[in-house]
Amino acid sequence: MYKRLQKFIDIGNNSAFLWGARQTGKSTLLHQRFPNSIYFDLLLSQEYERLVNRPYAMREQLLESNIKSGSVIIIDEVQKIPALMDEVHWFIVNKKLQFILCGSSPRKLIRSGGNLLGGRAIRYELYPLVSAEIKDFKLLRALNHGLIPTHYISETPDVLISSYIGNYLKEEIAAEAMVRRIPSFARFLEAASFSNGEIVNYQNIASECGVSSHTIKEYFQILEDTLIARFLPSFQKKPKRRVILAPKFYYFDVAIANHLLKRGPIAQRSEAFGRAFEHFIYQEIYAHSKYSGIDYPIAYWRTASQYEVDFILGDHEIALEVKSTDMAMPHHLKGLKAFSEEYRVKYSIIVTQDLHPRKIGGITVLPWKVFLEKLWNKEIIK
């Protein structure tokens, strides 16, 4: 059992949406946080059939039960029946009930014109596991298995990841997004993986998939909307040097990218290890930004002359470089030095596999374990 770090900060008596990709542990978390709630699970076929045909049956049930003001009602996979949102809205306004509305993404609600409660519900997301949630965390296991809970603990993760990609990404996501050409979408998922951690070339991917670049952009939007991937923006604040403006692309879990890329087992000191290591650190800082309640922006910085910093946190408060090397050397610090010449930076940090923290000039070298402990203890950014 994992103690998740999503604390529902500032929820109080407010209603909320909890979004997150399938199998990230949303239902388990809600059962832990709200054990006495009334629960509607739309993954149960009987419950789904009952409410999809008669959404008002939920209102009839709740009114008959003489439910008290302030009671918590959870609807799991709420996006499956958009019409329920009008019933939820009525109860929030007229009966002061608190709803926790859980689902894999809001895309279907938005596309159907569903009622998103007009600002009456706070939005939260649940991500794959992070290191601070796992006792005896193992880096190589995380890079090879990924951090979806069932995948991380499994002794046969490849089977589960393959099923996840086939049944969920290639079929369910495509169907929910009303993709007409599912085979081309399946090819797109694999082609997009070559852009993981990189800037996307839409035209090249379109040629590989046999569709237009406009269609490829729509496919990327589907991945964003369904929380399967996200774009990391470039840092562009008043640049002196000419900077690259295009965002980078990342799948939401490192093992999804590994599997689509057919990387095979990831071993120390391999090129695949370095790329997966950077992806993993990005997952950690992104989740920390949201779970901590700080919600600081994250960007990358790259100049036309090829100086680069992997992650800029906040308003250039932290410049963060990630290298899988066992010992940081001066040549690893060129991007950080160039960035600090252009912007006033509170901390310049390189995260590595060094054995001990140290300083090189004004740049802090942190072993990845130390960095993550400091991050989750609010010692990096506050």
Q: Are 308 and 334 in contact (CB under 8 A)?
A: no
CA nearest 276: which of 302, 250, 301? 250
Residue 281 Ramachandran class (φ > 0 left, ψ -120 to 50 alpha, else beta): alpha
| pLDDT at site 266 | 95
Per residue of the chain (382 residues), give pLDDT as tens. Answer: 799 999 999 999 999 999 999 999 999 999 999 999 999 999 999 999 999 999 999 999 999 988 888 899 999 999 999 999 999 999 999 999 999 999 998 888 887 777 788 888 999 999 999 999 999 999 999 999 999 999 999 999 999 999 999 988 887 787 766 676 778 888 999 999 999 999 999 999 999 999 999 999 999 999 999 999 999 999 998 877 899 999 999 999 999 999 999 999 999 989 999 999 999 999 999 999 999 999 999 999 999 999 999 999 999 999 999 999 999 999 999 999 999 999 999 999 999 999 999 999 999 999 999 999 999 999 999 8
| pLDDT at site 370 | 98
Q: How far apart are CA 205 and CA 192, in angstroms?
A: 7
Q: How far apart are CA 320 and CA 301, in angstroms?
A: 10
| pLDDT at site 180 | 67
pTM, entire model = 0.94
Three-state DSSP state, 326: coil
Q: How far apart are CA 129 and CA 108, in angstroms?
A: 25
Q: Are 284 and 130 in contact (CB under 8 A)?
A: yes
Q: φ, ψ for residue 152 (rounded to 5)?
A: -60, -40
Q: Are 185 and 168 in contact (CB under 8 A)?
A: no
Q: φ, ψ for residue 332 (rounded to 5)?
A: -75, -10
Burial class of residue 313, CB neighbours in 10 A (0-12, 13-18, 19+):
buried
| pLDDT at site 235 | 96
Contacts of 315 (CB under 8 A, 6+ apart): 237, 297
| pLDDT at site 27 | 95
CA nearest 254: which of 349, 144, 163, 330? 144
| pLDDT at site 169 | 87
Q: How far apart are CA 305 and CA 241, in angstroms?
A: 8
| pLDDT at site 177 | 63
Q: Are 235 and 296 in contact (CB under 8 A)?
A: no
| pLDDT at site 55 | 94
DSSP 247: P
* Length of the chain, in residues: 382
Radius of gyration of the chain (CA): 22
